[in-house]
Amino acid sequence: MTEKLVIIGNGMAPGRMLEHLLEAAPGRYDITIFNAEPRVNYDRIMLSPVLSGEKSFEEIVIHGDGWYVANGIVLYKGHKIVAIDREAKTVTSNHGVTESYDKLVIATGSVPFIIPVPGNDLPGVLTYRDLDDVDAMLLAAQSRQKAVVIGGGLLGLEAAAGLKERGMEVTVLHVMPTLMERQLDPAAGYLLQRAVEARGIKVVTRANTKQIVGDGKVEGVELDDGTIIPAALVVMAVGIRPNVTLAKDVGLTVNRGIVTDDRMRTSDPDILALGECAEVGGHVYGLVAPLYQMARVAAAVLAETGEDHFAHADTPTKLKVTGIDLYSVGDFADGDDREEIVLRDASAGIYKRVVLKDDRIIGTVLFGETADGAWFADLQKKQTDVSAMRDTLIFGQAFQGGASADPLAAVAALADDAEICGCNGVCKGKIVSTITSKGLTTLDDVRAHTKASASCGTCTGLVEKLMQLSLGDSYNPTAVQPMCSCTELGHDEVRRLIKAKGLKTIPAVMQELEWKTSCGCAKCRPALNYYLVADWPDEYADDYQSRFINERVHANIQKDGTYSIVPRMWGGVTSSKELRAIADVVDKFAIPTVKVTGGQRIDMLGIRKEDLPAVWADLGQAGFVSGHAYAKGLRTVKTCVGSDWCRFGTQDSTGLGVRIEKFMWGSWTPAKVKMAVSGCPRNCAEATCKDVGVICVDSGFEIHFAGAAGLDIKGTEVLGLVKTEDEALEVIVALTQMYREQARYLERIYKWAKRIGYDEVRRQVLDDVERRKAYYDRFVYSQQFAQVDPWSERVSGKDKHEFQPMAALSFQQAAE
């Protein structure tokens, strides 16, 4: 018989618990979740990249709406539980919804600590715990005014870095002498302060806040010594407390947190607790690794599949601020019963300290160079006797036993049970065996199958080294290859930093990212131009001199130096007027060759460069716009005649193809995009070898993607079935926008989709309706800033508004 499981809270811990539970005992529980936040489950440890601009909210969603629907889970968003009746076994929300339970999981998380000083309730005083806090900070940051962050711990420094990236002048106030004193020793704290200040953030230590001043809103922070620091925004990041109010109200045993045994069971046998609200073995936790261990144990208890027990372990600390490498784990306090080994490199800003007791590591602090963090942590976890390597220990794993300083050799020497991903508790053996058994070839494959590096991402380098070891020469990730000889950075890193640093011109990118050349090259300039167009459509002015010659002159150069042009024919449909105009142009300019293309259009070849403006002027008189046969953009939407004419047609494939093409043409993409719509499964338009294809069926529209029919031959993957034309258009536009935002320049859709995973594309575009709508809206938003091709000025005003075409200077300027 199905039991009723109710979960209070929808954070990362209960989300991971459900993943384990659904895998171990599918169908056992009828599951209902009450979430006080009005949204789905998301990765809270990635709020800092959202604040800084490195990621969007959609990119940190863990379970979208479609996941809950697919698993039969009822999710009440924006419902805060206000009452638990243990006798009746019910919970009631603030909106009056009452639900009964057989088993109840409390995962109410934590609440931020507000320092009790005058003015702490003024408008402009915020905490930093959830997406609402981030949204409020982003709104405040638009003012470009001054901000004060109270608290120099992990969250405080990440908040300060994010606000600085958003253009605010930021001061961090910390009551202790050095930053992050709980996780770092004074030497590392000093280096951290220096690194933070180098980013333009002011740090004041030994700063005791007396009050927050302001008349009706925040105007500044006054310290005990009388110093007043002006601020329009104050962020309190001084700590958290377990949210235990509900548990205390219903008589559960509560100390600092909700007290549980090592199987996450509270004093009521039918109620479990996990996450930041739980206290197990006298400890409460705020880092994700122990919370995920709680989730695994709780799922095993609910599924009755094993005897997993929660075991305390020191969890490494890492700071999610781009460009600051920091790692600490364990006990590094001074004491007579311990010794330390220290390495400093002042010029490189490197500091390493390992604390030993009885020839065993009990604590490690690394700053500036953290690659050996996992190795030191593994030695500590296993309590390995390090006396034999005492003299070389501080130099890292690669220097042990006479080994060379080869990072791959160091990773190869790690034991199979060495933990690689602390957030998700994934060991080396699990990663290697999964790569081998499932034939994984990309980092995203490994993330999808093991969760390694899927949370904060700081272990990505180690995971990639394991892939190199497992796959040998066959592993050659583009992600770690430089864009070109002008930079050491890869496409992904460049694109991430453009967003994170708010870089909006090519010179700004080259200066801030330390390009090796003064002006770039023919390989990197077009890529940078595309990334800037895509990321800042409303601010960046497309640089036509950074485009390839074909794009600059709106024609394809041929081997004899002449050009070919292809006017756009919507969905391959034409008229006598258009054909007559083409014939007149061919005669007038003595164009030697006219050819029907594979995309159902007409190509005119052999045009002299100097004739191009006049040719387009004449074609424009007939209403033609460019077919963009040269473009890194939408080229064609091939169609069959569909239900209008064909006796096998199930839908109006021609009409849908024309609608898609008119809606999407002119949008720059990382590489060329070809589409097709076939009116029935006979597939006359060859939709199953295109970047995006549609097969019309009786029940709707089957959408395909990631096909290829050029140097590589590949059939499409099925994205899914939708019922209406409107849905089909929204899904195709969202898929294209996802590709625009995530792909590397010149990477075709089939290569991008394989790299990130077909299931991930389906999850974001088909299953997650909110994310799909967000992609669609961003596509529409970017199109409104597109300029008009010079020849399309001859198209009627109505059509120009409908078409939203792309970008150019005057044609003559572009051609030059």
Asked whether residue 480 carries a pLDDT value surpassing 70, the answer given is no
Q: Are residues 719 and 753 in the same domain?
A: yes
Q: Are residues 585 and 672 in the same domain?
A: no
Mean pLDDT across the stretch 698-703? 93
Which pLDDT belongs to residue 809? 31
The torsion angles phi and psi of 280, rounded to 5 degrees, stand at -130, 125
695 in a structural domain: yes
Which pLDDT belongs to residue 456? 65
User: For residue 16, what are its two tokens?
Assistant: 């991971």
Question: What average pLDDT does the chain have?
Answer: 87
For 372-381, 458-467, 740-749, which range has the lowest pLDDT when averaged over its residues?
458-467
509 in a structural domain: yes
Nearest to 221 by CA among 210, 232, 212, 234: 212
477 in a structural domain: no
In contact, 228 and 213? CB cutoff 8 Å: yes
358 in a structural domain: no
356 in a structural domain: no
Q: Are residues 646 and 517 in the same domain?
A: no
Asked whether residue 802 carries a pLDDT value surpassing 70, the answer given is no
Write down which residue in 626, 642, 658 finishes a domain: 626
33 in a structural domain: yes
Asked whether residue 808 carries a pLDDT value surpassing 50, the answer given is no
Q: Are residues 150 and 56 in the same domain?
A: no
- Please spell the DSSP secondary structure of 137-183, one letter per residue: HHHHHTT--EEEEE--SHHHHHHHHHHHHTT-EEEEEESSSSTTTTT
The torsion angles phi and psi of 224, rounded to 5 degrees, stand at -60, -30
The torsion angles phi and psi of 235, rounded to 5 degrees, stand at -110, 120
Q: Please give the tally of structural domains in the chain.
A: 5
How many Å is the maximal CA-CA distance in the chain? 96
- The DSSP secondary-structure symbol of 287 reads S
232 in a structural domain: yes
**pLDDT grade for 333, boundaries at 50, 70 and 90:** confident
pLDDT (tens digit per residue) in 39-65: 999 998 888 888 988 888 888 899 989
Write down which residue in 184, 213, 238 finishes a domain: 238
Domain at 146, CATH number: 3.50.50.60
Quote the CA–CA distance of 435 and 412 in Å, as a whole number.
Answer: 15
Domain at 575, CATH number: 3.90.480.10
In contact, 734 and 772? CB cutoff 8 Å: yes
713 burial via Cβ count (<10 Å: 0-12, 13-18, 19+)? exposed
Q: Are residues 678 and 699 in the same domain?
A: yes
Asked whether residue 521 carries a pLDDT value surpassing 70, the answer given is yes
Q: Are residues 149 and 270 in the same domain?
A: no
Q: Are residues 656 and 779 in the same domain?
A: yes
Print the domain residue range for 497. Answer: 491-546
The torsion angles phi and psi of 450, rounded to 5 degrees, stand at -125, -15
Cβ count near 573 (within 10 Å): 15
Q: Are residues 761 and 679 in the same domain?
A: yes
Out of 165-169, 333-337, 512-516, the most confident range is 165-169
User: Which has the higher per-residue pLDDT, 53 or 677?
Assistant: 677
Asked whether residue 280 carries a pLDDT value surpassing 70, the answer given is yes
The torsion angles phi and psi of 714, rounded to 5 degrees, stand at -150, 130
Cβ count near 757 (within 10 Å): 16
In contact, 568 and 625? CB cutoff 8 Å: yes
Asked whether residue 407 carries a pLDDT value surpassing 70, the answer given is no
Q: Any residues with CB less than 8 A from the CB of 214 and at least 6 apart, and which?
A: 119, 122, 124, 220
386 in a structural domain: no
Signed CA dihedral, 782, 787, 792, 794: sign only: positive
Q: Are residues 506 and 585 in the same domain?
A: no
pLDDT (tens digit per residue) in 607-645: 999 898 889 888 888 888 888 888 888 999 999 989 888
Q: Are residues 683 and 755 in the same domain?
A: yes
Domain at 645, CATH number: 3.30.413.10
Q: In three state form, how does the secondary structure of 500-555 look?
A: HCCCCCHHHHHHHCCCCCCCCCCCHHHHHHHHHHHHCCCCCCCCHHHCCHHHHHCC
Q: Are residues 146 and 52 in the same domain?
A: no
Write down which residue in 597, 626, 655 finishes a domain: 626
User: For residue 811, what are its two tokens?
Assistant: 């044609």
User: For residue 242, what are its two tokens?
Assistant: 């377990």
Q: Are residues 499 and 622 in the same domain?
A: no
